[in-house]
Amino acid sequence: MQIKLIINLVYITSAIMFIYGLKLLTSPVTARKGNFISAVGMFLAVVVTLVNGGIIDYKWIALGIILGGLIGGFFARLVQMTQMPEMVALFNGFGGIASLLVGSATYYELGSYNLFIMTTLFLAVLIGGVTFSGSIIAWGKLSEVITGKPVLFFGQTILNGLIFVAALMGGAFFIANPADGYPILIGIIILSLMLGVLAVIPIGGADMPVVISLLNSYSGIAACAAGLAIENNILIVSGALVGASGIILTNVMCKAMNRSLYNVLFGGFGSVARKSEADFQGEVKPISPEDTYYILEAACSAVFVPGYGMAVAKAQHAVRELADLLEENGAEVRYAIHPVAGRMPGHMNVLLAEADVPYDKLIEMEEINRSIASIDICLVVGANDIVNPAAREDKNSSIFGMPIIDVDRSKTVIVLKRSMAPGFAGIDNRLFYNENTRMLFGDAKSSIEAVISQFKEL
């Protein structure tokens, strides 16, 4: 009785640490501290659970801690910031497969069956399988192992619906007759893995931030279901927190794109360009690093708008150095952050934080748009769809209605880009042809370094 009381007290402590850590994660200033507190809370919960269950003795627990710490430390050092979205996708997948395995193992350990446990066990397996295979496909798209474009075929939605119904029917039979449910459980696992693949392949690269947050939510819901199946309170709490926060973030991402979740999942966004997008033409005006320097040198205010191209070029440190030079020259410098810039939620914030950009200089889209007409120069560093005026002006555009950063309304726009290739949405960007836009072609990091050289020389 006393041992159980101690265990529950540790669980309550861990839950409080999760909630407090989640609160700290809402601010970039305290995010690292919040992550550490949450990690300590999970460490305590895992150790106490293993000790209480008598599953593993102390030497194996210690070995697991050492191996897990080494693997985590190794990948924390090895993985580049540009690969962070892929890493997050894999984290979601591992969470899903863990819930699937917990649910499957619980079925083998049960001596008796009841409706509640079998239902939650089924949900843990189904949602865990979908999360795992869907996350692997998301990882493949993000890392370009498979195409990032939507993969569509005739009857795809119907097939997905049939697989989902078959999984539900299999679950009903499994719950009704659990004693002989082993073959059905295997079938449910196979169907869940198939559903995860088929649910993510029709989603294009432009929607990856939404998919990442949704799969994160799925992993939490699967963990919560697994916690209910094995009657583990801390797993229920942690899964519910992850599931709820993931759903909230998914909703924020959808609003930032002015699209419904249904449209993201089943719209095949970016698969084809509409006629008004494909036929749009104009004349671009290239600019050299030397001329860019003269424009920047005369500017009193400047706004950097980062996108995935900045991540690819690893240009965040060069951006920070150029910003420092502009401030030394008397200019006011800020960074405009779009909610879906990059390939995961908060991608640009993470990159700029790595370059030690002050947090108070990161300005949200709505706030910067209110004053952008007075900005002397906007430097678009590898961003595309999030600054495309077609989202505001062209009703035939596939991104029409998506909130954008209105850089075209500033006095001068300089776009740093390798080529005229379209962004994730697969459509041309009419910003590039505006009268007040200049294109600085080339690798973003090299281009910025060339401008910095001009500042230092002149």
Q: How many CA atoms lie within 13 A of 87 on its CB side?
A: 13
- Distance between CA atoms of residues 326 and 301, nearest Å: 9
- Does 28 or 405 have the greater pLDDT score? 405
Strands (E) in 307-347, as ranges, are 332-337
| HEC secondary structure over 214-270 | HHHHHHHHHHHHHHHHHCCHHHHHHHHHHHHHHHHHHHHHHHHHCCCHHHHHHCCCC
Average pLDDT over residues 90-118: 89
Q: For 220-245, how does the pLDDT look when each residue is reduced to its tens digit (9 = 90+)?
A: 999 999 999 988 889 999 999 999 98
Give me the pLDDT at residue 266, please.
Answer: 61
* Closest CA relative to residue 86, chosen from 217, 220, 208: 208
pLDDT at 18: 93
pLDDT, mean of residues 434-448: 92
Q: Which helix (H) or strand (E) holds 415?
A: strand 412-417
Output the pLDDT for position 25: 84
Higher pLDDT, 291 or 399: 291
User: Is the pLDDT reported for residue 273 higher than 50?
Assistant: no
Query: Which of 235-249, 265-279, 318-332 is least confident?
Result: 265-279
For residues 50-76, average pLDDT: 78
Mean pLDDT of 375-401: 87
Q: State the pLDDT confidence band at 322, using cuts at 50, 70 and 90.
A: very high
CB contact set of 213 (below 8 Å; sequence gap of 6+): 246, 249, 250, 253, 344, 345
Choose between 218 and 208: higher pLDDT: 218
β-sheet with 437-441: strand ranges across: 362-364, 332-337, 301-306, 377-381, 412-417, 437-441
Q: What residue spans define the domains of the chain?
A: 79-266, 275-457
For 397-429, how does the pLDDT look when each residue is reduced to its tens digit (9 = 90+)? 777 888 899 999 999 999 999 887 776 666 788
**What is the per-residue pLDDT across 143-184, written as a single tens digit (0 to 9) for each?**
878 877 778 888 888 998 999 999 999 999 999 988 888 899
Confidence of residue 269 (pLDDT cuts 50, 70, 90): very low
Q: Distances from the Cα of 393 to the Cαs of 365, 387, 388, 404, 408, in angstroms?
A: 18, 12, 9, 11, 12
Nearest-angstrom CA–CA distance, 118 and 129? 16
pTM, 2 dp: 0.79
Task: Output the pLDDT for position 130.
Answer: 95
Mean pLDDT computed over 58-87? 81
Give the gyration radius of the chain's Cα atoms.
Answer: 25
Please, which residues bridge with residue 286 across strands?
A: 439
Nearest one of 248, 147, 131 to 199, comparing CA atoms: 131
Q: Which residues are known catalytic residues?
A: 385
Query: What CA–CA distance (Å, rounded) separates 231 from 237?
Result: 11
Domain spanning 275-457: which CATH class is it, in words?
A: alpha beta
Confidence of residue 276 (pLDDT cuts 50, 70, 90): very low
pLDDT of the residue at 168: 95
pLDDT at position 278: 47
What's the pLDDT at 181?
84
In this model, does residue 124 exceed pLDDT 90? yes
Residue 272 pLDDT greater than 50, yes or no = no
Who wins on pLDDT, 428 or 37?
37
What pLDDT score was predicted for residue 426?
67
pLDDT band for position 384 (cuts 50, 70, 90)? confident
Tell me the pLDDT band of 190, cut-offs 50, 70 and 90. very high
Distance between alpha carbon 360 and the CA centroid of its chain, in Å?
A: 23
Does pLDDT of 279 surpass 70?
no
pLDDT score, position 250: 85
**Inter-axis angle of helices 156-176 and 182-200, nearest 10:** 160
